[in-house]
Amino acid sequence: METSAENNQSENKNSSFQWKGEKPHIFWIIFPSILLLCALFLPVHEKLTQLHLKWVYPLIYAWSIGSILTPLAIQLSFWLGWLDIPAGRKAHVRPTPILGGFAIIGAFGIALLLTFDFSLQMKGVGIGGLLIWLVGVVDDKYELRASLKLFVQLIAVGILLYAEVHVSFLPDVWWGTIGEYLITAFWVLGITNAVNFLDGMDGLATGMSALIAIFVAIVAVQTNQIYFSYVAIALFASCLAFLPYNFRKTRSAAIFLGDNGATFLGFTLAATVVMGDWAESNTASLVVPLLLMGVPIFDMTLTTVMRFYHGQVKTFGEWLAYAGRDHFHHRLAALGIGRYLAVLMIWGITFTLGISAVVLKQARGFDALLLLLQELLIFLMISFFMIYVRSNQIKIFIETQNSGSETKALNADDLERALTTTDKPVDSEVD
């Protein structure tokens, strides 16, 4: 019996060195590696510089490194036990790695280090982003208190302010400086958590962040901010490398962003947008970030208003701690279109808002305000559609089920809770 037990222990130790989870296709490891080596090859580097294609560097670096790091992040998650276990309101059907942020931040950071030297502002964004990511890693494993996470996020905002990363449109007086600091803190904290809240379906936060980043790059080129375009391209390529493992039509995700990846993306996008000067008109320059971040802003606003309206939360502390399936993507999927189409629709809305941001370079202040009003009206119509259709779906179903029935009448609230679990993905993989 002792010999048998020793053999089992030996087998377990040996098995710990075997690949766990899905094995990536060898092509998607070799091809990025070759592409990365080619980009680092000096003659290729010089040729791209001569052709004025420096933007290709962060694109290739980030995509290649991200493609290599993502499978490693999957394996690392299994080794360390950083897994999201299906339970409660979670929709996935199997333990899933959650160190996706490791691949994103690794690809993004290394790509920028290989591309150019960091300015003081980018050092602030980098250090703050690293702090946000580290806290997210711990939170994914041990579920930190919401108040503690908010405190650390405030420290990260303080790092940004120290590195002179803040909005700059108020008068250059003491109250203007305080106002700019407060607006920056509100913006960064809001977007950081809003992107994290939207990380509730496979590929949603990753794809949305990639779209926002590429439009930031386009607007940066329009406004001759080449430095910012490189940063945004690197973030776009990092998300693009991660997306095939995170968004799959017929199978659930092989790896999640986790809070560590989602909060890092939100923080980096929010901070990067703050640094830029996005249009000739000061008003238009302020509207561009609101358009680019329209979806996360809308989702946070909608859930906050509805939760206070229905009495689900009554204090700021309850709001911080509350977790529910009432976000934008949940409401869309619950209408019957499913998770996959809900993600594509939100990507489409993000893309549309990005186009609006692109046309604002030479817009007057009044034109910018009209576009902002258009965005507001669109989201109001979407809100009305989702809430009205869902309410009528429940009402009609209850009336149909209760008509002529001797059983206990259905309750609308109980039915709503039951129906929100019907959009879980079907995993076609065989264990």
Measure Cα distances from 116 to 145, 227, 228 in Å: 38, 9, 12
pLDDT of residue 35: 84
pLDDT of residue 200: 87
The conformation of residue 119, written as its DSSP 8-state character, comes to P
Directed axis angle between helix 226-246 and helix 56-80, to 10°? 40
- Per-residue model confidence as pLDDT tens for the chain (431 residues): 344 444 444 444 444 446 666 677 677 788 888 888 887 776 776 777 777 778 888 999 999 999 999 999 999 999 999 998 876 555 556 789 999 999 999 999 999 998 877 788 889 999 999 999 999 999 999 989 988 999 999 999 999 999 999 988 888 888 989 999 999 999 999 999 999 999 989 999 999 999 999 999 999 998 888 888 999 999 999 999 999 999 988 888 999 999 999 999 999 999 999 887 776 677 778 888 999 999 999 999 999 988 888 888 887 777 777 777 888 998 888 888 888 999 999 999 999 999 999 988 777 778 888 888 998 999 999 988 888 777 777 677 666 666 655 555 555 565 555 555 444 444 433 33
pLDDT of residue 294: 94
pLDDT of residue 354: 94
Amino acid at residue number 121: Q
Given a contact cutoff of 8 angstroms between Cβ atoms, the answer to whether 291 and 212 are in contact is: no
- Residues 225, 230: Cα–Cα separation, whole Å: 9
The conformation of residue 364, written as its DSSP 8-state character, comes to -
pLDDT of residue 416: 57
pLDDT of residue 22: 65
What does residue 423 show for φ and ψ, rounded to 5 degrees?
-100, 25
Nearest to 196 by CA among 126, 270, 248, 252: 270
Measure Cα distances from 234 to 49, 173, 247 in Å: 17, 36, 20
- Residues 340, 368: Cα–Cα separation, whole Å: 33
Task: Give the global pTM.
Answer: 0.86
Q: What average pLDDT does the structure give for the chain?
A: 83
pLDDT per residue as tens digits for the range 255-295:
999 999 999 999 999 999 988 777 667 777 888 899 999 99
